[in-house]
Amino acid sequence: MWNSATQFRWRLAVGPLVFVAALFLYPLARLLVLAFDDGGGFAEVLSNPRIRSSLWFTLWQATASTILTVMAALPLTWVISRFRFRGRDLVRALVTVPFVLPTVVVGVAFAASGMSGSVGGILAAHVFYNLAVVVRTVGGVWSRLDPALDQAARTLGASPIRAFRTTTLPLLAPAVAAASAIVFLFSFTSFGVVLIVGGLRHRTLEVEIYQQAITFLDLPAAGALAVLQLIGVVAVMTVYSRYQERRAVRFRMVAETDALIPVRTGRERVLVTTIVVATLAALLAPLWALVRRSFEGGLGGWRFLGDPGRIAIDPMAAMSSSLRIAAATTVIAVVVGGMASVVIAAGSDRLSRGFDVLIMLPLGTSAVTIGLGFLVSLGSLRTSFWMIPLAHALVAIPFVVRASTPTLRSIRSELREAAAVLGAPPSRVWREIDLPIVARAMAVGAGFAAAVSLGEFGATSFIARPETLTLPTMIFRLLGRPGAVTYSAAMASAVILMVTTAALILAVDRLRSNEVGSF
Amino acid sequence: MGLAVHGLVKRFGAKTALAGVDLEVNDGEVLAVLGPSGCGKSTMLRVIAGLESPDAGTVQWGGVDITSLPTHERGFGLMFQGYALFPHRTVGENVGFGLKMQGVERHEVEVRVADALSWVGLDGFARRHIEGLSGGEQQRVALARTLAPEPRLVMLDEPLGALDRRLRDRLVDEVAELLRARNATALYVTHDHDEADTVSDRVALMRSGVIAQVGTLAELRSAPADDWVADFVR
């Protein structure tokens, strides 16, 4: 049945659809053509031992990274979800910082920690980077789980551990699965970290694609690899969404303040302190190493940023173009992502699910694929300023959607119906009910979009031209040059990038923690 | 001529919620719809409000077919069972919402909101937040929000259902008085005989998706159409 609300939804769907079709599906189609054009492209690629070792490495390191991340995150997630203690909000915010740090910064930080070229460094960097995904995804549910459920199990005779296993864990399982799926996909398509820490000895598919395209100029091979990677991503997402559908138990969430208990016994205090301090120390160590290295040999690296001398890299210009690109990206991502989340949240039908996958695709597909797609399909358009923000928006939109869809979903359909009965046409219902409730979530999404853009490296490394270098691409260039001063300058730029994104994210987090939890 | 509903059918998958409902509400009449839970009362209101489209049958107002008119153009009021108050808006903004949608000027909205709030005994509540209200206060805000735009048909879905007995007994007279004073044309859904009797001019008995009988409660008692009706109104 087509009522006017459904029509409105379909009309709204057109914008994001055109956006994704033009900037993602079309380039992807060109990639496919390229990959199959050659005839034996796939067979050739798969029989190449170098590529086979990259494939194998991609799979096993993603699996290992996921398991390690979940294990490393669970203690802190428990502490944050169950206890009220001073500085809890700060801890939660600090844990989020690594996740939003540009991959280039993470890579440079682990390189500065003396882990260059080692598999351990790559895994550690992935845990470092993804910890927040688990803490926030699982903690978001756990901290708002009605403690009465656990208590009910206890009064029915379950021991604390049994109550956890039979009541809490099953309710958390979907969140753990969601977090694992995200961590796996991020590690599977990891680029910047592996490129910088792996030093070309350990290559993920992403790095392999980059090298095939940029170093060996073998676009068909790069295209074939991108297609292979896409198949893997789609497989993971399909399995994951099937699982979520099957597991979707709706349950009442309580306000966080009602679920948390104060730290009471001495044993609890020791446990909480140990877990918090250990986790934070592990997260801060590489960042500290980065700052220290930027000052190695005095202020030379920092001075270089203002006065690079006779080198074809202009740090100031890179910073200003990074800022302009971030502003443009934010506007595009909020508009398109906002439209998409309305379409997704308004139902649980095919349109909603299909759209969800479609919007997530660019993020899962990986930045490198997006960059390669732009490279092979957009011809002379590629030189336009707008290409970089558009590419960044493809990656940023999922963040906007993820930030606003749950809030939109939480609006009871009754509220919209009440507004309609009171005379509000569908577009007005959206403006009066959905928009105000979701505005704060949108602001959060906008903050993430800006952070994504400032740190984006994979796609940009394919499309940025020397005169439009962004901060991350400039850092990579600096790393590739000989000399202690340029190395320190790379570190210093990474510090600037780190501080900027961290400040942005902490501001966003303040918005989030003020959120009203009652609807 | 007020509301006329003919042969209304609504199915949800294999379940038939409405199996051919015929019903008329005269201008200025309060008709109570009485029936056990799950008999399709709420679905009927939702179809009349345009929130659900019927699989068969028509909804008419003043002799005009409005079956496919969008909800927001019907000019009806519906008070939801769970109230559906907008949590992000104040009491005054909730009550004034319908007036705002009609394009009523801001100053007049304020005046009429104050009026509506005084009808329900909530003078001075306009700036309060929804969150801090008690159940009884929320009920009154919902009622004021429904009545403020002066809808041509008022529909109330178990308006007192969520309140405890004592509060209900007190409020039912107030609601009855309010509807009469405004000369409202109203459909009042309830599963409580006393409530139906107090509030309405006539009662429509509903059973598994059809209207079993319409009349005053006294008429239904003295001349029940069948055993089920006799049993239910006893």
Query: DSSP label at A253?
Result: B
Please tell me the distance from the alpha carbon of residue A149 to that of residue A420, in angstroms, as a whole number. 36
Q: Is the pLDDT of residue A465 over 90?
A: no
Given a cut of 50, whether residue A1 has pLDDT beyond it is no
Q: What is the largest CA-CA distance in chain B?
A: 56
B39 close contact with A: CB closer than 8 A:
no
What mean pLDDT do residues A421-444 have?
Answer: 86
Instruction: Give the confidence band of B204 by pLDDT, cuts at 50, 70, 90.
Output: very high
Task: Pick B53's closest partner by Cβ from A3, A412, A432.
Answer: A3
Q: Is B130 on the interface with A (CB under 8 A)?
A: no
d(CA B184, CA B200): 11
pLDDT at A517 over 60: no
Give the per-residue pLDDT at A4. Answer: 64
Under an 8 A CB cutoff, do B101 and A421 touch? Answer: no
Domain that holds residue A379: 1-28+298-519
Do residues A88 and A113 both lie within one domain? Answer: yes
Confidence of residue A475 (pLDDT cuts 50, 70, 90): very high
Distance CA A244, CA A221 (A): 35
**Digit-coded pLDDT (tens) for A304-361:** 888 877 777 888 888 999 999 999 999 999 999 988 988 888 777 777 888 888 888 7
pLDDT of residue A332: 96
B85: left (phi over 0), alpha (psi -120 to 50) or beta: beta
Domain end (from A251, A278, A294): A294
For residues A290 and A313, state if they share a domain: no
Q: Which residues of A touch B98 (CB under 8 A)?
A: 422-423
Query: Could you tell me what percent of chain B has a pLDDT over 70?
Result: 100
Residue range B150-172: average pLDDT?
Answer: 87
For an interface test with A, the pick among B47, B48, B51 (most A C-beta atoms closer than 10 Å) comes out as B51
The answer to whether B8 and B56 have CB atoms below 8 angstroms apart is yes
My answer on whether A282 and A349 are in the same domain is no
Cβ(A400)–Cβ(A442) below 8 Å? yes
Q: What is the pLDDT of residue B14?
A: 87
Q: CB of B56 within 8 Å of any CB in chain A?
A: no
A456: nearest Cα among A480, A479, A476, A486: A476
Are residues A307 and A197 part of one domain?
Answer: no
Name the 3-class secondary structure at A308: coil
- Distance separating the N- and C-terminal Cα atoms of chain B: 32
Of B75, B82, B97, the CB nearest to A419: B97
**pLDDT at A247 (0 to 100):** 62
Q: Do A417 and B101 touch (CB under 8 A)?
A: no
Between chain A and chain B, the number of residue pairs with CB atoms below 8 A apart is 75
- Plot region of B20 (φ>0 → left; ψ -120 to 50 → alpha; else → beta): left
| Strand, coil or helix: B157 | strand
Predicted confidence (pLDDT) per residue in A30-43, tens digit: 888 888 776 656 77
Q: Which of A211-220, A265-274, A376-385 has the lowest mean pLDDT?
A: A376-385
Contacts of B97 in chain A (CB under 8 A): 419, 422, 424, 432
- Do A188 and A213 belong to one domain? yes
Which pLDDT value is given to residue A285? Answer: 93
If pLDDT is split at 50, 70 and 90, which confidence band does B32 have? very high
Residue A254 placed within a domain: yes
Domain ranges of chain B: 1-75+153-234, 84-151
Kindly list the residues from chain B whose CB atom is less than 8 angstroms away from the CB atom of residue A425. 70, 72-73
Residues A137-148 have pLDDT tens digits of 899 888 888 777
Same domain, A305 and A290: no
Q: Are residues A66 and A9 in the same domain?
A: no
C-alpha dihedral (B89, A441, A171, A181), degrees to nearest 10: 160
Q: Are A296 and A484 in contact (CB under 8 A)?
A: yes
Whether A33 is in a domain gets the answer no
Nearest to B87 among A419, A423, A518 (CB): A518
Helices (H), B102-192: 106-119, 135-147, 165-181
Q: Does residue A460 fall inside a structural domain? A: yes
When pLDDT is cut at 50, 70 and 90, the band that residue A249 belongs to is low
Check CB contact under 8 Å for A1 and B53.
yes
Cα–Cα dist B114/A448, whole Å: 43
Helix (H) or strand (E) holding B42: helix B41-49
Q: Are residues A177 and A56 in the same domain?
A: yes
pLDDT tens digits, one per residue of A483-514: 888 888 999 999 999 999 988 887 887 776 55
Measured distance CA(A133)–CA(B227) in Å, rounded: 63
- Residue B12 at interface with chain A, using a CB cutoff of 8 Å: no
Residue tagged 């928006």 (tokens) = A393
Residues 6+ apart with CB under 8 A from A414: B80, B82, B84
In a domain, A8, yes or no: yes
Looking at domain B1-75+153-234, its CATH class is: alpha beta
Q: B202-207 and B210-215: which strand pairing?
A: antiparallel
Q: Are B78 and A422 in contact (CB under 8 A)?
A: no
Q: In chain A, which residues have their Cβ closer than 8 Å to the Cβ of B131? A: 518
Do residue A493 and residue A424 come from a single domain?
yes
Residue found by looking up tokens 């939660």 in the block: A92
Q: Name the residue type at position A415.
A: L
Q: What size, in residues, is chain A? A: 519
Residue type present at position B118: S
Provide the number of structural domains found in chain A: 2
Show which of A294, A320, A338 is a domain's final residue. Answer: A294
Contact B80 A422 (CB under 8 A): no
**Using CA atoms, how far apart are residues B64 and A127, in angstroms rounded to an integer?**
66
Residue B187: pLDDT band (50, 70, 90) is: very high
A509 versus A179: the higher-pLDDT residue is: A179
**Chain B residues inside the 8 Å CB shell of A433:** 86
Nearest CA to A26 among A37, A38, A34, A15? A34
- Please tell me the predicted confidence (pLDDT) of residue A296: 83
Average pLDDT, chain A: 85
Query: Does residue A90 sit within a domain?
Result: yes
Q: Which of A316, A440, A325, A326 is nearest to A384 (CA)?
A: A325
Residues of B in contact with A430 (CB under 8 A): none
The pLDDT score that the predictor gives to residue A515 is 46
The arithmetic mean of pLDDT across residues A197-201, rounded, is: 83
Please report the DSSP string for B55-83 in residue order.
Answer: SEEEEEETTEE-TTS-GGGS-EEEE-TT-
Confidence band, pLDDT 50/70/90 cuts, at residue B47: very high
Compare B77 and A256 and report the one with higher pLDDT. Answer: B77
As a whole number, mean pLDDT of residues B27-34 equals: 94
**Do residue B88 and residue A420 have CB atoms under 8 angstroms apart?**
no
Q: A15 with A152, same domain?
A: no
DSSP class of residue B185 equals -
> How many whole angstroms separate alpha carbon B45 and alpha carbon B78?
8
- pLDDT (0 to 100) of residue A248: 58
Judged by a CB distance cut-off of 8 A, whether residue B103 touches chain A is no
pLDDT at A149: 77
Whether residue A83 has pLDDT greater than 50: yes
Contact A3 B131 (CB under 8 A): no
* Residue A506, CA distances (Å) to A511, B9, B128 in order: 9, 55, 32
CATH number at residue A271: 1.10.3720.10
| Domain-terminating residue out of A263, A278, A294 | A294
Phi, psi of A391 (to 5 degrees): -65, -45
Distance from the A337 Cα atom to the nearest Cα atom in chain B, whole angstroms: 22
Asked if residue A324 and residue A370 are part of one domain, the reply reads yes
Give yes or no for residue A66 having a pLDDT over 90.
yes
Please tell me whether residues A472 and A396 are part of one structural domain: yes
In this complex, do B86 and A418 lie within 8 Å of one another by their Cβ atoms? Answer: yes
Three-state DSSP class for residue B13: coil
Q: Which of A421, A431, A432 to mutate to test the interface with B (most CBs of B within 10 A)?
A: A421
